[in-house]
Amino acid sequence: MRIEALAIICAVRGHGEHGAVVRALTPDDGLLAGYVRGGRSRRLRPVLMPGNLVHAEFRARTAEQLAGLTVELAHSRAPLFAEPLPAAAIDWACGLTAAALAEGLAHPRLFTALDGVLGAVEAAPAARGWAASLARYELLLLAELGFGLDLRRCAVTGAESDLAYVSPRSGKAVGRDAGVGHAARLFRLPPFLRDGGAAGWDEVFDALAITGHFLARDILVDRKAEVLAARARLIDRLRRAAE
């Protein structure tokens, strides 16, 4: 097996005295794992950071064997780790990707979206400029893994307008009138999560409440749930930024 691809570093774990096992997202082959010889060296540590874009080459004698991986830096996002909020965003987005995806399954839309989110974190002067895109990335990941939410029509009436809520049980939208008397048990549906566009802080936190609920319920279960601590840190920092 030999794969050469542009890849986003998603997770790095030390292996042995000097090496590292790296999980990286590629456009056509999905999430791949590889062993980087000397991955904990002073030269490679700045390269093998979550969020960095690398030219990667995976080589293995069989499909079952952990591939050897060599990398060349294509674009560094390491400077963002000097700031707590961007660092938390990168940790979560990449950690979620590494925890949620099975290896070797192509998700080209997720590769493009993750690169877009990381680029937004890098480019925006404030978190409000990228927080909405992070919520939409979580929504896309749910859909890619078969847990997509139906936000196009009301689950009760079938109407496609005046949608105000999301059911925490079904993941379907609920119209404003249909939700009367039940609002306390439903999530508020921010328009941007369905239609795109700008979002204020209240809308961002409403969206993150929705995606966080379904990620924890349907994807990040058992051992994968450990990654949710990174999400909690990120949301805490976002709330402080909003204040």
**What length is written for the chain?**
243
- Report the predicted TM-score, pTM, of the whole model to 2 decimal places: 0.95
The set of residues, in sequence order, having a beta carbon less than 8 Å from that of 159 and lying 6+ positions away, is 153, 175
Check residue 180 and report its DSSP letter. T
* pLDDT tens, position by position, 18-39: 899 999 999 999 999 999 999 9
**Does pLDDT of 5 surpass 90?**
yes
User: Amino acid identity of 93?
Assistant: A
User: Amino acid identity of 107?
Assistant: H
Helices (H) and strands (E) in the chain, counts: 6, 9
For residues 101 and 31, is the Cβ–Cβ distance under 8 A?
yes
Compute the distance between CA of residue 38 and CA of residue 3 in angstroms, rounded to an integer.
20
**Does pLDDT of 63 surpass 90?**
no
* pLDDT tens, position by position, 76-102: 999 999 999 999 999 999 999 999 999
- Rounded to 10°, the helix 131-144/108-123 angle is 170
Mean pLDDT of all residues in 215-239: 96
Q: From the CB of residue 137, how many other CB atoms can be counted at a distance below 10 Å?
A: 23
Residue 119's pLDDT band, with cuts at 50, 70 and 90, is very high
For residues 66 and 35, is the Cβ–Cβ distance under 8 A?
yes
Q: What is the pLDDT of residue 172?
A: 97
